[in-house]
A = this chain, B = another copy of it.
Amino acid sequence: MTIGVMILCCTSQTFGQVPSGYDLWLGYGKIENVELLRQYEQAATSIYFQNNSEILEAAQKELKRGLGSMLDRAVDFTDSFSTANSMVIAKKAGLDKAIMKSVAADLDRIGKEGFVIKSVQLKDKDILVISANEDIGILYGVFRLLRFMQGHKTLSSISLVDAPKIAIRMLNHWDNLDRTVEHGYAGFSLWNWQKLPEYIDRRYIDYARANASIGINAVSLTNVNANALILTPMYLEKVRALAEAFRPYGIKVYLTARFSAPIEIGGLRSADPLNAEVQQWWNDKAEEIYAQIPDFGGFLVKANSEGQPGPQNYGRNHVDGANMMARALQPFDGKVIWRAFVYSEHDADDRAKQAYSEFVPYDGQFMENVLVQTKNGAIDFQPREPFHPMFGAMPNTPLMMEFQITQEYLGFSTHLVFLPKLFEEVLDADTYLKGKGSTVAKVIDGSLHDKKMTGMAGVANIGTDLNWTGHPFAQANWYGFGRLAWDPYLSSETIADEWIRATFSNDPKFVGPVRKMLLTSREAVVNYMNPLGLHHIFDTGHHYGPGPWVSELSRPEWNPTYYHKADEYGIGFDRTPTGSNATEQYAEPLRSMLNDPKTCPEEYLLWFHHLPWDYTLRNGHTLWDGIALKYQEGVDQVQDMRTTWKNMEPYISKAQHEEVWMLLEIQLKEARWWRDACLLYFQTYSKKELPEGVEKPTRTLEYFKSLKFLFAPGIRPRWD
């Protein structure tokens, strides 16, 4: 028997030995604790699983795999209910009456996607029940139970009733048809268009499993800087194959729609949204797509933004463009997700104000199946930004959150940065739009303005790297995004804890220090890149490393000097009424708090204020010293992360440990690069010495300015 089991798991003919990481948080490590194992074994003695759909088939396979791996034995199921069952997994309609009594009230409040996991007493026996109203709830319930067990939690009197708080929980892949990924740092696009539709890469399934395990139910496959070819029959056939691979995991496929597609692939001479031919073309295209993919999600659109075509090319506005597409998709229940990331080279106003200025007046004019997708901040996914003032300001429009999981401005995939901490900060931010407590989370989940259609998107950090995300710890950002899209009120600490246990170890000597490392990592990157509200001082194009000196790009608002405005007097962007008055887009009392440097949170100080170098910070330091000390603090924090990680060696494999260690080495090198390059540059204006405690740069400013990275990853493709 033992030998049999060993062959099952060791035969290299079936599964290869690869470096850790491919399994993500679904490794399902064997349970070694005897008491826990006994308890889990008991629950798995006789499992009734009602399986009559492809989603339920996926759920059953996952349970077989997960339980089998944790219990280290083959797991079987029975296909009829009996009192001998120790576990019962069935939808509401298939539940035994006695069990039904215990879960009926729960089922009434969890909607289509929720689930109940409950230990139910039946004839003096504990039965573990997973139930739901729909198949997808069962799948989510199975994944939740497995994670619960991965966290080594006790099953006795378990009672988990949960349902997602946001309807569309979505990944945005910025993947190009040539498989490059814009701002992708984990290799290349998962989508092997050349081999589709016939060849279904095993990775597509494992990707879908990972998404379903955290509740992601929508993916946009292609870059928002879109190529119209994706809408041609040759590609739609391939998209269909992906949609079919994802469907058993409850995931709907969306595509980015290039606004000029009617011209580029339709042979029309215009893409004017008020042109009847153009409208007909989109109507026909929608019909063509839905004939192949009946549950197609809809279009994600970047229009009149950074050179992408849009309705303004024809003197029309965003409402005209979005509603034209929305009308085409409406018969099929498809959605238009229209991005609000716009700023114009012809508008001299502060870039931070432009999206608000342009979109808020349209509130209430979009069709019902349009969502407006808004980045978390008004600039562009900086290490820290104040929340976007559009949140809460369009009560009659469903506003969808766009977070960036890929680390465009956060060290690519070589820096360990736990982003749920950033996401949480945004979601917890108070807009005050309906009084205190009007948090961004309440805008996004629809509760503030009573919305049903809600959504949260994350720009994916996933690629062809063996470990999916380049950095093993970047998996936590995919994981954490999914968890927050499911429940935007979860704490980053809970998420870190769950992820560490599922991915690495339950040993408290590991979980504690690593959780602490995760939770401080985001502040570290803010400190060594953009402290005290500095922002967008990255090198050009690829955004790899510091470039505060860059000032000669054609569009003023693409230059770092536009954002930090360092001069001999001081540094920072005055966004108060004496400056761009961007603060007027925020509600009171927040607006007044931001306007006064004495009440403005210091982490946003230079975002909103231009202050002299000898301005006194709350800790008594001058601004110059404070900036320098923050940069040093960031470097020190990375040093601390290394110390923490060094001590973790006993708890994980050598390969796992070494991999992260090598990456931390890069992170430390680059943190010092940021500190030295930025301080040397700002020093040319401040003309002040570095304060005590800040390490002296070993290179010159000229050296840092001379660095060129022609082949930094993630650059926009040349066909665009």
Q: Flag if A20 contacts B13 (CB, 8 Å).
A: yes
Can you name 27 A-B pairs with beta carbons within 8 Å?
Answer: A2-B6, A9-B9, A9-B10, A10-B72, A11-B30, A12-B27, A13-B20, A13-B504, A13-B656, A15-B17, A16-B21, A16-B23, A19-B203, A177-B711, A178-B711, A179-B711, A179-B713, A188-B188, A188-B464, A194-B412, A194-B414, A195-B414, A195-B666, A198-B666, A199-B662, A199-B663, A464-B464
Q: Do most interface residues of chain A lie in helix, strand or loop, or is the interface mixed?
A: loop
A666 to B412, CA, bound (A): 36
Q: Across the interface, do A199 and B666 meet the contact criterion of CB distance under 8 Å?
A: yes
Interface centre among A13, A29, A185, A505 (most CB of B within 10 A): A13
CA distance A18 to B712 in the complex (A): 29
Chain B hits for A198, CB < 8 A: 662-663, 665-666, 669
Which residue of B22, B194, B203, B229 is within 8 Å of A16 (Cβ)?
Answer: B22
Note all chain B residues with C-beta closer than 8 A to A202. Answer: 18-19, 466, 655, 659
Q: Which residues of B contact A11 (CB under 8 A)?
A: 29-30
A652 on the interface (CB 8 Å rule)?
yes
A656 CB contacts on chain B under 8 angstroms: 13-14
Q: Are B20 and A14 in contact (CB under 8 A)?
A: yes
Extra A-B contacts (4), CB below 8 Å, given A187-B464, A194-B713, A229-B711: A6-B72, A12-B23, A193-B711, A464-B465
Asked if A553 CB lies within 8 Å of chain B CBs, one says: no
How far apart sit A188 and B178, CA to CA, in the bound complex (Å)? 11
Q: Please give, as numbers and ranges, the residues of chain B lying within 8 Å of A194 by CB-CB distance.
A: 185, 412, 414, 711-713
- In angstroms, Cα B13 to Cα A199, docked, is 29
Alpha-carbon gap, A676 to B347, bound state (A):
57
Q: Is A51 an interface residue (CB 8 A)?
A: no
Q: Is the CB of A7 closer than 8 A to any CB of chain B?
A: yes
Chain B residues whose CB sits within 8 angstroms of the CB of A23 once the complex forms: 12, 16-17
Instruction: List residues of chain B with CB within 8 A of the CB of A15.
Output: 17-20
Residue of B nearest to A718 (CB): B718
A178: chain B residues at CB < 8 Å are: 711
Given known A18-B18, A669-B198, A713-B179, contact A12–B69 (CB-CB < 8 A): yes
A13 pairs with B662, CB closer than 8 A: no
Whether A710 sits at the interface, judged by CB under 8 Å, is yes
CA distance A179 to B200 in the complex (A): 24
| Residue pair A18, B16 in contact (C-beta under 8 Å) | yes
Cα-based distance from A14 to B654 in the complex (angstroms): 9
Decide if B199 touches A655 in the complex (CB within 8 Å).
no
Q: Are A14 and B199 in contact (CB under 8 A)?
A: no
Residues of B within 8 A of A98 (CB): none
B-contacting residues, A197-238, CB 8 Å? 198-200, 202-203, 229
In the assembled complex, which residues on chain B have CB atoms less than 8 Å from the CB atom of A5? 6
How many protomers of this protein does the assembly include?
A: 2
Q: Out of B7, B203, B504, B718, name the residue touching A466 (CB < 8 Å).
A: B203
**A78 adjacent to chain B (CB < 8 Å):** no
A203, closest chain B residue (CB): B466
Separation of A13 and B19 alpha carbons in the complex (Å): 10
Q: How distant is the Cα of A473 from the Cα of B288 in the complex, in angstroms?
A: 37
Instruction: Judge whether A28 is part of the interface by a CB distance below 8 angstroms.
Output: yes
Please measure, in the bound complex, the distance between the C-alpha atom of A22 and the C-alpha atom of B229, giving whole angstroms: 33
A357 near B: Cβ within 8 Å?
A: no
Contacts of A17 in B (CB 8 A): 15, 22-23
A205 to chain B, nearest CB (A): 10
CB distance from A562 to the nearest CB of B (A): 27
Using CB atoms, name the residue of chain B closest to A205: B19
Interface presence of A653 (CB below 8 A): yes
- Name the interface residues of A26-83: CB closer than 8 Å to any CB of B: 27-30, 69, 72
Given contacts A13-B652, A20-B14, A69-B12, contact A199 B414 (CB under 8 A): yes
Q: Tell me, in angstroms, the Cα distance from A29 to B682 when the chains sit together.
A: 61
A22, A665, A669 — most chain B CB neighbours (10 Å): A22
Cα(A412)–Cα(B18), bound, Å: 25
Chain B residues in 8 Å Cβ range of A665: 198
A16 & B27 in contact (Cβ 8 Å cutoff):
yes
Contacts of A713 in B (CB 8 A): 179, 194
Q: Smallest CB-CB separation from A177: which chain B residue?
A: B711
**Chain A positions 638-694 with a Cβ under 8 Å from a chain B Cβ:** 652-653, 655-656, 659, 662-663, 665-666, 669
Task: Mark A700-716 against chain B: 1 for CB-CB distance below 8 A, else 0.
Answer: 00000000001111000
* In the A-B complex, the 4 residue pairs with the closest CB atoms: A12-B27, A16-B22, A16-B23, A19-B202
* Least Cβ–Cβ distance between A204 and chain B, in angstroms: 11
Min CB distance A379 to B, Å, is 25
Interface string of A258-285 (1 = CB under 8 A from B): 0000000000000000000000000000
Across the interface, A14 reaches (CB within 8 A) one of B72, B203, B655, namely B655
Interface centre among A6, A18, A229, A666 (most CB of B within 10 A): A18
Q: Please state if B14 and A30 are interface contacts (CB–CB under 8 Å).
A: no
A229 to B23, CA, bound (A): 37
Chain B residue contacts of A10, Cβ below 8 A: 6, 9-10, 30, 69, 72
A710 touches B229 (CB 8 A): yes
A713 to B176, CA, bound (A): 12
Contacts of A710 in B (CB 8 A): 177, 229
> What residues of B have a CB within 8 angstroms of the CB of A466 in the complex?
18, 202-203, 466
